[in-house]
Structure 1
Amino acid sequence: MSFCVCEKAKHHTVQLLRRRFYPATSEQPRSAATLNVLYRFQLESFEGKTNTFNFYHSLVRGTDNTGVSDIKDRYEGFRRMVQQFRHLCMLKHAGRGHHPEGVAGTQEGELALRCPACPQPGRNLPEDWENASSDTTLFLGINGNFRLKRKIVSNEENDPSLSKGWAYIVEEKAFKVHITGSTHEVETSTCSSYKAINEAETRKTTGLACTGQATVDCIRHDFKRAMSVADILKGESYINIDYPFFSGLRNTQIKNFIISYDIACQWHKKFWKRNDSIPPHLKLDSSKHTLKFLVPKFHLPAHIDKCRDDFSFNYSPKVGRTDGEAPERGWSNINGAANMTKEMGPGARRDTLDDFYGDWNWKKTTRFGANLLYRMKNAVPESTDHVHAHCLMEETLDPQTKATWMAEYAAWEADNMETNPFKLTQQTMTQDAVRRALNEAEEHDVAAGNLQMLHTTVSPCNVIMMGLDLEEAQRCLAVDSAALGPHATDRQHSLIAQRSKGLRTRICAWTEVQTVYCPPAHAKRAFEEAATPSGAPLVPAHALKLYLPSELDRAVSSHLPLAKYEWQLRVAQANDTLADIRANLHIQSAMYRHKDHYEQGQRAQTRSMTLLQRIQAQIDAATMRHRVAHKALQHLQQILRKDSTWQTTLKFLHDADVRVLSVRDVDNVARKDRNREVSWIWLSHRVASEAANDAVLHDSLRVEWCKSRARALRWCEEVYLIKEEMRRVLESLDWEAEWWLKQQTLRVGRPHSFNSYLHSPSPEHQEAIEAYAYRQADIRRSLRGHFAHTWRYIPRFLELFVPFESFGRFEPSST
């Protein structure tokens, strides 16, 4: 190239940029890349997660795919150009080129793209929002990602970051000062044993500068928040999480927060104590801010029962249908870049990830029209259905019962320390709990010398436990063997044969131990084997008799302590099967409703029927287990000479009893219609006294009423939230369009300072500034117009929505 050298000529860098070439250096550039190829690489890295090395060598092969030509290596220069280009694009998109102070005046977090649907005072909230909208809430989600590792490559001195905390990742120096100066208190989890806490100090860090990243997201709209991403230096310890959380809330005017974190049940305990150790400019005022801590819906089932009730999105007011899993969806986008960034130096990695997070937020912005429309079209009919079902249920209740339940529900919503209405007041012992109690009791008896161990490793209660496990394995093998069919493959027969052989081996080993503790079982087995004619076919493994105490006659087993162990385990087994049946009936009912309302087409219907068949198979298996347990209890009752009171709650399970709890069933119970009673499986915990049954409905009905009310409230709240979010999005885009129009005159008439090119722009430069501002304003107006057009029928659609508070008797004509 030949540069212009006349007296009015611009610097070589400027001449290249005006021809759409990006120079590799600002001093005497000798190589450059076209802006088109940089834009192209940026998009391919966003969508295909293409790294710089592979993209560069694809250009080399496009130049010469034979390797004959001597092509100079420009990879290092191209890598530097890419990093600078990413950073300059973020500065340009944030309007720093229009500001009189230029790049030097950039503040922390200023380059981040804000969520237009989240509440932002001065942008999308009315001037008197604090008085008019006291419930304005910010929904935040916290999570750590251990795939975004970085190896020990380069250092801060050789590879500094260009952004310096201006976008999503916190400023590195201040963050490391806080980490170094803070005392790390290791807290053992009192809930489930999560690796995030318990293995925070044991995670492998060899060869790694950081083991991942922690982020704070907007969980309603999946946005990365400004100054809310930080590296995880070891495990997911609290000091790595606290700093980005408080950093993202710097100078916020919002007072109410919903905080979602998969270990929120532990993290919230000393939250305000840790707040005292945060740098002063990041602290929250406990007297002004209200925080509600919840666990994301997908992670919640892994928690203990108390956490599942106290930290549930389904039970908490004013959260709508938020699931809290937004950070996980964000990781699915960025995980593809993990291999690209783990080999980078610290500065290049932070600048690259900042650019990726910005692109993620921009894509979310452009998709608000379709996303919010889809959510509203789903929320309105769902809220109507759930409110309708709940109102029908309430009509069956007498006023006193309803008032009592309502008072308990309201008290718990106001203060989670009150009695939880979603819990059954009478809990049954599970098999696991009974097994634990029996083992602990045996341990004490052995220590006190009250129990003689006849076997070196197996105790009496363990014999029964092992026998019940073998019985369950036999049932499963019998079902799978019967399902083979006449056209089963050799491989399927081979797998069944392997399982049968393994089960037979386990049964033989168990019978040897059983012989020690229960000689009558061995004698009966030997007698029947002797009576079997020679040449008889081999008895299948799933048909072998185990001769548990419930299978022996009374004269032989009445003195056996094993019968007492089996009694307790059989009662727990029956209760467990009832819980499984009730849970699967709930799932089955919900799946039928979803299939009838939303599934269309043969493919969707086939998938739904396949899932329903799986659920039905689980219900049938649990029904079979309950019948076996009931038969064993009947025999053990005679052996142990127990009364029959247990049969008031654990009856024989007929096919007609296995049915879902419907509104009609509740109506029949409330009106004491004995011809159509609720299936006893839903009333298995109630008191046998008729007076108690006449006073209030069973705990199961109360819990079902609470869950029904919570579902109706959450769906109605979702409609309100989406409607408000639509308004905020339009207001935010209007504000941004006006903001960009104001940027075009900021530098006109400004005095010279450190850079004459930056200040007092030339006429052609001013024209470019105005053109870019108009373009950005036009983009916002186009998005606003597109969203408004997409949502044009929402006001009429909302006429079908009837708020829960004013919902009366549902009439079919009203739909």
Structure 2
Amino acid sequence: MLAMDCNFRARNRDNKSKDETSPMLGDGMAYMVPEEDYQAFTKNNQHDQEMSTCSKFGAMILANLKKGRGYRTTGVGGVFCSRHGFWWPNSVGTLVKGERYCTIDFILASVARRLRSEKLHLSYDIICQYARNLEACLRDVKPDSFIYEGAQKLLNEVHKVYAVPKFHNPGHKELCQQWFNLAFQLFCGQTDGEASERAWAGLNPATTSMREMGAGTMRDTIDFYCGMWNWRKTIGLGPFLFKKLEIALAEAQDHCEIYTGLREVLADEDAGTLQSWMASVIAWENRDEEGRYDGKEAPNPYKPKTKPITLHQARLRSAQAMKTALQNVGTAAASQASEIHTATLDITNFILLGFKIELMKFRVTAERNSNTVLQKAERTERKNELLRHIAMFRKQQQWIMPLVSAGLQELQGKDVDGTGREAEDYDDGDELIASADANDPVLEATEMNLFLPSELPAQLAVQHNHDVLMEEICLRWGGLSDAVVMIRQNLQIKGVVHRFRKGNTRGQRPNTRVRGKQAVIEANLAIAKAAYRLHRERFAALANMLTAEERARHIPSDWESRFQVLEELDCVAIGSKVLIQIEEADIAHARALIAARKGDTSVTGQTHRKVSWLWYTSLDGATLELNDDMRVEFLRCRARAMRWVEEIYHLCYEMVRTPEFTMNKAEWWARKATLEMPGVDGFVRDGMRAYARKQSTMFMRQSDSLKEKFAEPLTEAAQFIKTHGLDGLIHVS
């Protein structure tokens, strides 16, 4: 299991030092790749532009904005062991201009020269983009290249499985989150793919000094720090593995009990549905590289099949319902039905125009004070556009809601747009805006009520505008779903950009650039929150206007729990803590389902942490419904149990291999102590042999200590494995 990443803090200034004055003492002999071969491979790809199409991941775009002016290198890229965080030999290379794929290609193929496994789990924070053309790039490697052997292994001998590190995963599109999720991949255990982030911690203390070093000195320093990091990892493997197995045994027991109990409940409820779910997930887990199993396409079972109703879907549903009605009427009534259909479409477009005006109001209100002439001109244009849309809305309101329009005219003593001018004068819209600028009517326009049914008294809305009211209910429901999606997207982007800025951005100019992007994200987030709150407020008002029978037919009973009141504390950018809380909430919900089904009130499934409802999408309550939400939740529960059991298998194997490795090192040093060294001074020879015996003794003692330390936890793990299978189920003989 390997992880790849880049560190933009480890830069090197383009000072007067050259390779001749600052040579590398061991070029390609430790952790850095051979410089000459590396430069020869990357110079032909010096000007390639590789942009990300994954809209929710901004770190690569921000990284490519760094021009690197005044720097010999703009960072370093590396490949690490995903399980333990070790640096591999020839696994580090310098970056010349951002995070370009060709540099990572060379480093990965360099590491692959030493691969002896037939399967490779590869994690990278932009793997969704990187993996697309990896094989095509590797096929272009020339036979005389340093990495040719590694490239051929990756192409022909190694089965590659790609993943996004767990805490980078939420920054990607939903499709990437599902396809490249380590939690859903077989035999990954609890590997999180974030070993690279921890490994950079060993190098970052030296980055300030490395910035001013010569080229060779910088590469020697990286070799030194990588070696130091690996040595610290080696001597700390005992406590590291012991603690991880202790946690894994407790977690695996817990999750296997939950999965086994939930599976039994579902089998009693509907064995056929359960079998269908299991068949789909097994096919997906055993698919080939083309995504097929047994000759058929294997769809991702973790992807929800049902989607929330959006505004466009609500509009389509309304049109389809009217189409069905038209098909069912007779010839005599066809003309009348056609007129009704046209009127319904006009009502839908009328309400959607109102929604657009509401969004435009939020945007105009959220804008900061203008400073430059260009900014003032753009702000004025947006004000004018808002007023044009309001005038258009008032025209349509005259015949769609005539009673409301007449009341407005009588109340204001002027035409419905509030200017006192005739509607016919507004065909071009320019004169309206010209006269409005004198008194700056934008404040009045942003606070002006549109008087949709949700803003009217209940009696007036129900008796005289019932059709418009029912259509607004349908569209408000879609607007709620759209607003939640907008909030989630902006929170995801906000979290990604914040993590990038915290980890990679230093200096006034880069920070100013990133702050500008953060300001845009915050503005979009504020608009999305305002839109959600307005949609919810108006939907609640409309629901209260309906009769009990209409409410039961048109309003979901759980709408208040599904779309809760939005507090500022709910709008937290997703990160490691939020991800942990989401998983805890999923586990708690599974416990509650099992407890309710079995009548066990002692299992409450409560968690000590409150998860924002924005991120926790499962249905609340303890009722069991074999719907799409239940399918995804059950499969996630299964994946958690399997990953924890796999983790125990991984750790047991590592606990057996680690003492054997240290004993092998002890024997290797012992052989060094007996080597003949002709021509070496006697005192030097005695010193070398003494050092070799010291190293041999040290590794031998470490091996004995690890065997003694690991004996008890390995015995516990053996007892666990007797009753718990890799399928995540508890098997009682």
TM-score, normalised to structure 1, is 0.58
The structural deviation recorded for 1:783 is: 2.1
What does residue range 333-482 of structure 1 map to in structure 2 within 5 Å? Answer: 333-398=202-267, 399-415=271-287, 416=291, 418-429=298-309, 460-465=354-359
Asked whether 1:269 is paired with 2:132, we answer yes
Q: Which residue of 2 aligns with 1:704?
A: 633
What does residue range 238-253 of structure 1 map to in structure 2 within 5 Å? Answer: 238-253=101-116
- Given that 1:397 and 1:670 are in contact with CA atoms closer than 8 Å, whether structure 2 keeps it comes out as no
* 5+ long unaligned stretches in structure 1: 1-138, 439-449, 473-505, 529-542, 582-620, 685-692, 750-759
What does residue range 43-58 of structure 1 map to in structure 2 within 5 Å? Answer: none
Q: For 1:734, what is the secondary structure of its paired residue? A: helix
1:573 to 455, 459, 480: 480
- Given that 1:393 and 1:666 are in contact with CA atoms closer than 8 Å, whether structure 2 keeps it comes out as yes
Q: Which residue of 2 aligns with 1:310?
A: 179
Q: Deviations over 1:563-591 (max 9, x none)?
A: 8567424334168769999xxxxxxxxxx
What does residue range 262-301 of structure 1 map to in structure 2 within 5 Å? Answer: 262-278=125-141, 279=145, 280-285=148-153, 286-301=155-170
CA distance in 2, matches of 1:325, 1:807: 25
What does residue range 752-791 of structure 1 map to in structure 2 within 5 Å? Answer: 760-791=679-710
CA distance in 1, matches of 2:249, 2:194: 22
Asked whether 1:647 is paired with 2:555, we answer yes
CA distance in 2, matches of 1:780, 1:295: 36
1:804 to 710, 725, 728: 725
What is the number of residues matched between the two proteins? Answer: 547
Which range moves more in the overlay, 201-210 or 155-164? 201-210
CA distance in 1, matches of 2:387, 2:545: 21
Query: What's the % identity of the aligned pairs?
Result: 27
Q: Tell me: CA distance 1:653–1:717, structure 2 relative to 1, closer, same or farther (3 Å).
A: closer
Q: Which amino acid aligns with 2:2?
A: L
- Given that 1:182 and 1:277 are in contact with CA atoms closer than 8 Å, whether structure 2 keeps it comes out as no
Q: Which residue of 2 aligns with 1:227?
A: 90
Asked whether 1:331 is paired with 2:331, we answer no
Q: Deviations over 1:414-439 (max 9, x none)?
A: 1245221112211114579999x99x
Which range moves more in the overlay, 397-406 or 544-553? 544-553
Q: Tell me: CA distance 1:468–1:243, structure 2 relative to 1, closer, same or farther (3 Å).
A: same
1:166 to 29, 32, 45: 29
Q: Which residue of 2 aligns with 1:602?
A: none
CA distance in 2, matches of 1:575, 1:193: 17
Q: Which residue of 1 aligns with 2:658?
A: 729
- Given that 1:467 and 1:546 are in contact with CA atoms closer than 8 Å, whether structure 2 keeps it comes out as no
Q: Which residue of 2 aligns with 1:187?
A: 50
CA distance in 2, matches of 1:723, 1:401: 36
Q: Which amino acid aligns with 1:420?
A: N
CA distance in 1, matches of 2:186, 2:480: 36
Q: Which residue of 1 aligns with 2:589?
A: 661
- Given that 1:259 and 1:294 are in contact with CA atoms closer than 8 Å, whether structure 2 keeps it comes out as yes
Q: Deviations over 1:672-723 (max 9, x none)?
A: xxxx9xxxx9569xxxxxxxx99x8111111111000000000000011011
- Given that 1:264 and 1:295 are in contact with CA atoms closer than 8 Å, whether structure 2 keeps it comes out as yes
Q: Which amino acid aligns with 1:798?
A: A
- Given that 1:570 and 1:629 are in contact with CA atoms closer than 8 Å, whether structure 2 keeps it comes out as no
Q: For 2:27, what is the secondary structure of its paired residue? A: coil
1:149 to 11, 27, 37: 11
Q: Which amino acid aligns with 1:634?
A: A
From the two aligned structures, give the one with the greater helix fraction: 2
Q: Which amino acid aligns with 1:337?
A: A
The structural deviation recorded for 1:374 is: 0.8
CA distance in 2, matches of 1:699, 1:252: 41
Q: Which amino acid aligns with 2:710?
A: W
Q: Which residue of 2 aligns with 1:93?
A: none
CA distance in 1, matches of 2:727, 2:23: 60
Q: Which amino acid aligns with 2:44?
A: G
* 5+ long unaligned stretches in structure 2: 292-296, 319-345, 367-381, 398-403, 413-446, 489-529, 565-584, 605-616
Q: Which residue of 2 aligns with 1:741?
A: 670
Asked whether 1:794 is paired with 2:698, we answer no
Q: Deviations over 1:703-759 (max 9, x none)?
A: 11100000000000001101111112111101111111111233434xxxxxxxxxx
Q: Which residue of 1 aligns with 2:331?
A: none
Q: Tell me: CA distance 1:665–1:764, structure 2 relative to 1, closer, same or farther (3 Å).
A: closer
CA distance in 2, matches of 1:193, 1:424: 19
The structural deviation recorded for 1:765 is: 2.0
- Given that 2:261 and 2:594 are in contact with CA atoms closer than 8 Å, whether structure 1 keeps it comes out as no
TM-score, normalised to structure 2, is 0.64
Q: Which amino acid aligns with 1:661?
A: H
Q: Which residue of 1 aligns with 2:543?
A: 634
The structural deviation recorded for 1:397 is: 1.9
CA distance in 2, matches of 1:579, 1:517: 25
Q: For 1:257, what is the secondary structure of its paired residue? A: strand
- Given that 1:460 and 1:562 are in contact with CA atoms closer than 8 Å, whether structure 2 keeps it comes out as no
CA distance in 2, matches of 1:358, 1:295: 27
Q: Which amino acid aligns with 1:382?
A: E
Q: For 1:142, what is the secondary structure of its paired residue? A: strand
Q: Which amino acid aligns with 2:253?
A: T
The structural deviation recorded for 1:391 is: 0.5
Q: For 1:229, what is the secondary structure of its paired residue? A: strand
2:68 to 205, 209, 217: 205
- Given that 1:424 and 1:700 are in contact with CA atoms closer than 8 Å, whether structure 2 keeps it comes out as yes
The structural deviation recorded for 1:192 is: 2.6
Q: Tell me: CA distance 1:470–1:791, structure 2 relative to 1, closer, same or farther (3 Å).
A: farther
CA distance in 2, matches of 1:252, 1:723: 22
Q: For 2:156, what is the secondary structure of its paired residue? A: coil
Which range moves more in the overlay, 796-805 or 721-730? 796-805
CA distance in 1, matches of 2:92, 2:639: 34
What does residue range 511-660 of structure 1 map to in structure 2 within 5 Å? Answer: 517=393, 520=404, 549-553=453-457, 564=471, 567-573=474-480, 628=537, 630-634=539-543, 645-648=553-556, 651=559, 653=561
What does residue range 15-26 of structure 1 map to in structure 2 within 5 Å? Answer: none
CA distance in 1, matches of 2:409, 2:684: 100
Q: Which amino acid aligns with 1:282?
A: G
- Given that 1:683 and 1:700 are in contact with CA atoms closer than 8 Å, whether structure 2 keeps it comes out as yes
Q: For 2:188, what is the secondary structure of its paired residue? A: coil
Q: Deviations over 1:660-681 (max 9, x none)?
A: 634453686799xxxx9xxxx9
Q: Deviations over 1:536-564 (max 9, x none)?
A: xxxxxxx9998653121478666697985
CA distance in 2, matches of 1:230, 1:427: 44
Q: Deviations over 1:98-138 (max 9, x none)?
A: xxxxxxxxxxxxxxxxxxxxxxxxxxxxxxxxxxxxxxxxx
Question: Whose Rg is larger?
Answer: 1
- Given that 1:630 and 1:650 are in contact with CA atoms closer than 8 Å, whether structure 2 keeps it comes out as no
- Given that 1:320 and 1:715 are in contact with CA atoms closer than 8 Å, whether structure 2 keeps it comes out as yes
